[in-house]
Chain A
Amino acid sequence: MPHVISGVNLSLREEVAETQESMHSSDRILEVDSLVKYFDVFERGILRKKTIGEVHAVDHVTFHIFAGETLGLVGESGCGKTTAGKVILLLEEPTSGSIRFEGTDVVDTFQHGHQDDAKRLRRSMQMVFQNPYNSLDPRMTVYDIISEAFVIHRHIPKSQWTDRVYELLRMVNLEEYHAERYPHEFSGGQRQRIAIARALAVDPKFVILDEPVSSLDVSIRAQILNLLIDLQKKQHLSYLYISHDLSSVRQISQRVAVMYLGEIVELASANELFDRPLHPYTQALISAVPVPDPEHKTTRIILPGEVPSPINPPKGCRFHPRCPHATDICKDVAPTFEDRLVQEHFVACHHADKFV
Chain B
Amino acid sequence: MDEKLLEISNLRTYFFTEAGVVKALDGMSLEVYKGQAVGLVGESGSGKSVTAQSVLRIVPRPGRIVDGSVKFEGEELLTKKEDEMRKLRGRKMAIVFQDPTTSLNPLYTVEKQLTDILMLHKDLSKDDASKQALHLLDRVGIQDPERRLKTYPHELSGGMKQRIAIARALACDPVLLFADEPTTNLDVTIQAQVLELLKQLQRELNMTMVMITHDMGIIADMTERVTVLYAGKVMEVADTQTLFKSPKHPYTEALLKAVPSVKQTRALEVIPGNIPNLIEPPTGCVFHPRCKYAKDVCVKKEPELERVEEGHYAACHFWRELELEGRGG
Contact = CB atoms under 8 A, between A and B. Distances in A.
A194 B92 CA distance: 47
Contacts of B222: 290
Interface in B200-235: 214-222
Contacts of B241: 294-295
A270 B43 CA distance: 28
Instruction: Indicate the size class of the contact surface on chain B.
Output: 35 or more
A226 B261 CA distance: 15
Contact of A190 (B271, B272, B274): B274
B189 A293 contact: no
B244 A293 contact: yes
Given A190-B274, A221-B258, A226-B270, A292 B216 contact: yes
Interface stretch (B7-15, B63-71, B72-80, B191-199): B191-199
Nearest to B239: A294
Contacts of B217: 247, 289-292
A250 B260 CA distance: 8
Contact of A306 (B159, B188, B259, B275): B159
Interface string B138-153: 0000000000000000
Contact of A248 (B160, B190, B244, B260): B260
A290 B221 contact: yes
B187 interface: yes
A300 B260 contact: no
A320 interface: no
Nearest to A281: B189
A250 B264 CA distance: 8
Nearest to A288: B192
Secondary structure at the B interface, as helix, strand, loop or mixed, is helix
B278 to A, nearest CB: 13
Interface stretch (A62-70, A95-103, A177-185, A212-220): A212-220
A300 B290 CA distance: 36
A222 B274 contact: no
A222 B268 contact: yes
Contacts of A302: 189, 192-193, 196
A189 B220 CA distance: 26
A290 B215 contact: yes
B328 A295 contact: yes
A190 B159 CA distance: 32
A291 B188 contact: no
A174 interface: no
A284 interface: yes
Contacts of A219: 43, 254-255, 258, 271, 275, 290
A291 B222 CA distance: 11
Q: Which of B160, B241, B261, B328 has the most CB of A within 10 A?
A: B261
Contacts of B192: 287-288, 300, 302-303
Interface of A: 76-77, 187, 189-190, 217-223, 225-226, 244, 246-248, 250-251, 270, 274, 284-296, 298, 300, 302-303, 306-307
B240 A217 contact: no
A270 B261 CA distance: 13
B125 interface: no
Contacts of B255: 218-219
B61 interface: no
Contact of A290 (B160, B218, B260, B269): B218
Interface string B295-329: 00000000000000000000000000000000110
Given A187-B274, A288-B189, A302-B196, A296 B220 contact: yes
A289 B328 contact: no
B189 to A, nearest CB: 5
A128 B244 CA distance: 34
Given A222-B260, A293-B244, 10 more contacts: A187-B274, A189-B274, A218-B258, A218-B259, A244-B187, A247-B217, A285-B188, A288-B188, A288-B189, A294-B221
A190 B215 CA distance: 22
Contacts of B19: none
Contacts of A246: 188, 262
Nearest to A77: B187
Interface in B37-77: 43-44
**Most chain A C-beta atoms within 10 Å of own C-beta, residue among B195, B215, B217, B256:** B217
Given A77-B187, A218-B43, A251 B268 contact: yes
Nearest to A76: B187
B265 interface: yes
B265 A217 contact: no
A316 B265 CA distance: 35
Contacts of B214: 217-218
29 contacts: A76-B188, A217-B43, A218-B215, A219-B271, A220-B275, A222-B259, A223-B270, A244-B188, A247-B260, A247-B261, A247-B262, A248-B260, A251-B260, A251-B265, A274-B262, A274-B263, A290-B191, A290-B215, A290-B217, A290-B221, A291-B221, A291-B262, A292-B216, A292-B220, A295-B241, A303-B192, A303-B193, A306-B159, A306-B190
